[in-house]
Structure 1
Amino acid sequence: MTDTTVTLRNQAAANNMRILYLDFYPAIRHPDTNKLTRRYNLGRKIYSETKLESKEYVTGKGNKSVKHSEVFGNRKDKDGNPLPVKNTLTDLQKEHNRKTLRKANKKVIEIQSLIDNGNYSFLSKKVTSLNFIELFEQIADTKGESTRAIFLSSLKKLREFAGDKLYNKEITLEFCEKFKSFLENDEGLSQNTASAYFRKFKRAVADSEKRGLIKIDDLERFNELKIEELDTNIEFLTLDELMKLTTIPCSNELYKLAALFSGATGLRRSDVVNFSLKGIRKGYKGKKYINVAQEKTKKIVPVPLNKSALNILEKVSNESNKPFSSLQDTHWSTLDIELHKWIKDAGINKKITFHCFRHSYACALIHKKVDIFTVSKLLGHKSLSSTVRTYAKVMDIDKYEAAERVEFVNSIDW
């Protein structure tokens, strides 16, 4: 039995996040290096309740580095010390913090028990000592909220297949093939859902392989493994339908404006909700745009604000700095019922969701002959292939229209 105490701590990081780690005092010896260590990174992050800033500095050795620290405002405590500026969290972010901290505190108890018994194997970086299930979960926690949800659904299926303990040495090409077959034969999954789950599993494996935590003997064959997706038709609204919707009342006028704003900018619902008027800037020829830190991809994407978008903002600009943020106070399913009724009242017989307004923006650009590379950039897709895959059928329609422009034989009598 040792006298070492395990304490959960956090450290400021980029994007207003905090990294969770365990602190050991007194220090313990690392089993791989025999050196004393006081820290164990949990590989998990939470959203910071105070605002953080990143500053670049030069170390004593002349190297550039970045320091993340709290932002202090004008408010002071009773001793006259400045207080950090609070960071307003969404309900989803608060829920993420609650779940993550609950898991982290369980880890504290687990690690404390191991240390009390003189077992420091959890520190080892050897492949055989790592549980891939836990590693998969840690990778999921680094993703945006919607992507994280798919990772966790994939992990749930992996647990069904392999249990709660799956050591890295067990992740072989044969294992991956068997898990692929398991997903393909799951009657409760559609083919496209099984495909999405397997892609997330492969991403977690590939990430671990790059870090030297997993060894796949035949990477070429591993990369070829996939579950084919079936072609699906994306629903979208035409510009005429969008214009018609502007004249149709909705029981939740703010949700209506948020949906139309998505149709005018291509923003996802999560990014519309987090949209801030303070971020509006002037760019080329005085045109207005805003840099959006996308919730899903974490990428900073410059989004031009066209006349439609600016007209919508004029209707909500008096509400608050974040005009759509109050939508989070109502459950999404309730808002979607109101949206469906609004679409029906407009006489539009399509299965339209909020995300379809983003599709409508993309499809309008494609029909207006905007090149697919520009469309991809405006949507903030990580790769051009994502855009092509999503809007392939829309592009095919345009191909037929383009081909008709080259007609030069008017009849068979020539």
Structure 2
Amino acid sequence: MKKKKDEIKIKEPVKIRYKELADGRKSIFLATYFNKKYHYEFLKEYLYPDIDKYKTRNENTLKRVLRVKSQRITELEKYQEHLENNTKQSKVLLRNFIRILAATKEKSTQQNFNSLAYHLERYNEIDIQIGKVDKEYIIGFISYLEKAEIEHTERNKGKKLSKNTQAMYFKCLRMALDEAVSDEIIVSNPVYSIKKKNRPTTEKAVKREFLTQEELKRFAETDFPNELVKRAFITGCLTGLRHCDIRQLKWGNIGVIKNGIEYISIIQEKTDEPVDIPLKDNIKRWLPERNGASDNDLVFDGLLSLGRTTEILPKWAKMAGINKHLTFHISRHTFAVLAIANGINIYTVSKLLGHQSIKVTEIYTDVLDSSLDNAMDKMNDNSNI
């Protein structure tokens, strides 16, 4: 049957898509059509392959996804409505625009934009029209950032925002207003009316603490009351995995065979990007005993939260005679330094660590090119852990 000439095909603004994972699950993400291209938002929701066993769970997951999809469609419609009602003094609301923009960004950037919207609300409860954002408004926001205190985490509650965090929020605001200019919502970006010397700037890079091979060996040989924390920390030193990724690691992620090589294969929580880490013997030695656990069971079941591990790890450092302030994140720094020192290509290290920019990885050192598998074999052979 032929379509009528005047029939117009309308693109669905938000579509549900699926990505097959190595363990058989399907990761669900939304494809949002915005500004003449698709943007992708991973929801950290999964469908399980055993349909009979996980029927109810999968149905509930899809219901949650449909609710999020409906919410995104409503947000887009609201945004389009604002655009249609534009005047020279734009009526598009700043925080609403930023939240819509956030949905089109990569996960880590998305979090930064949403946090910016949160701080703009703390700065001024009334959402301002973008067309009314001027130099005075931005100077006031800079002043707010200098005085703002952290509220959302118990460990850092009451502390001032770091200079790097202030600079990041200012950069996100500049990017959002640049986007508003690009969308012809406003004619110019008022951020550029502020002299550079008066804008928030980042601090000079500080030295990143890490453990040497010898120090890591001493830690491994030191008895520690919480064996699970010890195993998790050393696993982080040997893989570069974050605490959140180690905590959610399942046995189905361990020993995935690809091209005849065993890997730890996961989707990183922070970036929603897949990573495959060669599973060498020195890593296997520090994994807990499986004891008949299923593929869906956690490898480090019962591992303490990041806050609690950070509280108790310094005691372990003292027991090992290491004069360094130990946090769980130091395990990632340790992996990066030891990997680069053993010849792993810096671009590969950057990918394994989930860095958004190679510049972040370059902080560790200059390196020589080498293949990942051969270099990690060298780490495995040279390791006394």
Write out aligned runs for 1:196-211 (5 A). Answer: 196-206=168-178
- Check the 8 A contact 2:28/2:42 in 1, yes or no: yes
Q: Determine if the alignment matches structure 1 residue 73 to structure 2 residue 51.
A: yes
Q: 1:337 to 1:161 in 2, by over 3 A?
A: closer
Q: Determine if the alignment matches structure 1 residue 168 to structure 2 residue 119.
A: no
Q: CA deviation at 1:73?
A: 0.9
Give CA deviations for 1:187-227 in whole Å, capped at 9, x if unaligned.
Answer: 933322322332343454456566666654599999x8762
Give CA deviations for 1:20-45 in whole Å, capped at 9, x if unaligned.
Answer: x9xxxxxxxxxxxxxxxxxxxxx998
Q: Which of these residues, 116, 129, 139, is aligned with residue 154 of structure 1?
A: 116
SS at match of 2:282: helix
Q: Determine if the alignment matches structure 1 residue 51 to structure 2 residue 51.
A: no
Q: Determine if the alignment matches structure 1 residue 387 to structure 2 residue 361.
A: yes
Give CA deviations for 1:216-271 in whole Å, capped at 9, x if unaligned.
Answer: 4599999x876233221211111222222222222322222111111111111111
SS at match of 2:167: helix
Q: Distance in 1 between matches of 2:234 and 2:146?
A: 38
Give CA deviations for 1:344-363 in whole Å, capped at 9, x if unaligned.
Answer: 21111111211110111001
- Check the 8 A contact 1:17/1:46 in 2, yes or no: yes
Q: Distance in 1 between matches of 2:142 and 2:258?
A: 48
Q: 1:324 to 1:149 in 2, by over 3 A?
A: farther
Q: Determine if the alignment matches structure 1 residue 123 to structure 2 residue 81.
A: yes
Q: Determine if the alignment matches structure 1 residue 231 to structure 2 residue 200.
A: no
Q: 1:297 to 1:199 in 2, by over 3 A?
A: farther
Q: Determine if the alignment matches structure 1 residue 244 to structure 2 residue 218.
A: yes
- Extract unaligned runs of 5+ from structure 1: 1-9, 22-42, 53-70, 77-81, 89-96, 109-119, 400-414
Q: 1:189 to 1:226 in 2, by over 3 A?
A: closer
1:136 corresponds to: 98
1:194 corresponds to: 166
1:323 corresponds to: 298
SS at match of 2:263: strand
Q: 1:148 to 1:216 in 2, by over 3 A?
A: same
Q: Percent of pairs identical after alignment? A: 26
Q: CA deviation at 1:310?
A: 2.2
User: What value does the CA root-mean-square deviation take over the aligned residues?
Assistant: 4.7
- Extract unaligned runs of 5+ from structure 2: 1-13, 20-26, 33-39, 150-159, 369-385
Identify the range of structure 1 (298-307 vs 153-162) with the bigger mean alpha-carbon deviation.
153-162
Give CA deviations for 1:47-102 in whole Å, capped at 9, x if unaligned.
Answer: 54x627xxxxxxxxxxxxxxxxxx671259xxxxx6564789xxxxxxxx8xx98x
Give CA deviations for 1:151-190 in whole Å, capped at 9, x if unaligned.
Answer: 4543343234344302222346775566446535769333
Q: Distance in 2 between matches of 1:276 and 1:359?
A: 23
- Check the 8 A contact 2:245/2:269 in 1, yes or no: yes
SS at match of 1:288: strand
Q: Distance in 1 between matches of 2:91 and 2:247?
A: 42
Q: Determine if the alignment matches structure 1 residue 308 to structure 2 residue 282.
A: yes
More strand by share: 1
Write the letter of the residue equivalent to 1:201.
L
Q: 1:73 to 1:235 in 2, by over 3 A?
A: same
Corresponding pairs, count: 318
Q: 1:340 to 1:133 in 2, by over 3 A?
A: same
Q: Distance in 2 between matches of 1:363 and 1:283?
A: 26
Q: Distance in 1 between matches of 2:332 and 2:294?
A: 24
Q: 1:122 to 1:387 in 2, by over 3 A?
A: same
What is the TM-score with the length of structure 1 in the denominator?
A: 0.60
1:405 corresponds to: none
Q: 1:348 to 1:304 in 2, by over 3 A?
A: same
Which protein is bigger by CA-based radius of gyration? 1
Q: Distance in 2 between matches of 1:124 and 1:312?
A: 55
Q: 1:211 to 1:47 in 2, by over 3 A?
A: farther
Q: Distance in 2 between matches of 1:209 and 1:277?
A: 49
Q: Distance in 2 between matches of 1:264 and 1:297?
A: 20
Q: CA deviation at 1:339?
A: 2.3
Q: Distance in 2 between matches of 1:138 and 1:326?
A: 37
Q: Distance in 2 between matches of 1:14 and 1:383?
A: 27
Q: Determine if the alignment matches structure 1 residue 273 to structure 2 residue 247.
A: yes
- Check the 8 A contact 2:83/2:92 in 1, yes or no: yes
SS at match of 1:73: coil
Q: Distance in 2 between matches of 1:121 and 1:134?
A: 8
